[in-house]
Amino acid sequence: MTPPATALTGSITRQLDQLSAHLSQAGPQQAAQILQQVLDAENGVLGRLSALVGTGTYVTKHHAQSSLFPAEMWLALGRTANTLHDLALDLDEHQEVFEEIASRRALTTSSPTATRATALVARGRHR
């Protein structure tokens, strides 16, 4: 018999794979809707994942203090939780854009603004 947490993790993983497949085939409006929900810093998938890793940080801290887990594991999870939280907040700044695109009635490729080339701007953190 599969432990409930293992079955739940497997189910979530499969659903994320399905969502990724839907996103890869989505048009602009549907992609914006999916990304808006996924990237929501509080209630979206990224926000919930950040909270889950944060919970993992507390659990590993407890076990590290009991010498059951290596302290490095706790520290690595803590850094990961902080990074995910920061990324979620950075992406949350763009929620209005996703909302605006998702709520458009119809996107046409025949309009001059839709066919105009635009420059892509990438921001990133340098390490």
At position 16, the amino acid (one-letter code) is L
Q: Which of 15, 51, 52 is nearest to 34 (CA)?
A: 15
CA distance 44 to 12: 14
CA-based end-to-end distance of the chain: 45
What is the structure's pLDDT at 74? 94
Q: Which residue has the higher pLDDT, 76 or 104?
A: 76
Q: Which of 91, 58, 98, 88 is nearest to 75 (CA)?
A: 58
Torsion sign, CA atoms 122, 124, 126, 127: negative
CA distance 15 to 68: 32
pLDDT tens digits for 3-34? 899 999 999 999 999 999 999 999 999 999 99
Q: Which residue has the higher pLDDT, 93 or 113?
A: 93
Give the 3-state secondary structure percentages of the chain, helix then strand then coil, rounded to 5.
Answer: 70, 0, 30
- Say yes or no to pLDDT of 49 above 70: yes
What is the structure's pLDDT at 118? 57
- Say yes or no to pLDDT of 123 above 80: no
Torsion sign, CA atoms 39, 44, 49, 54: positive
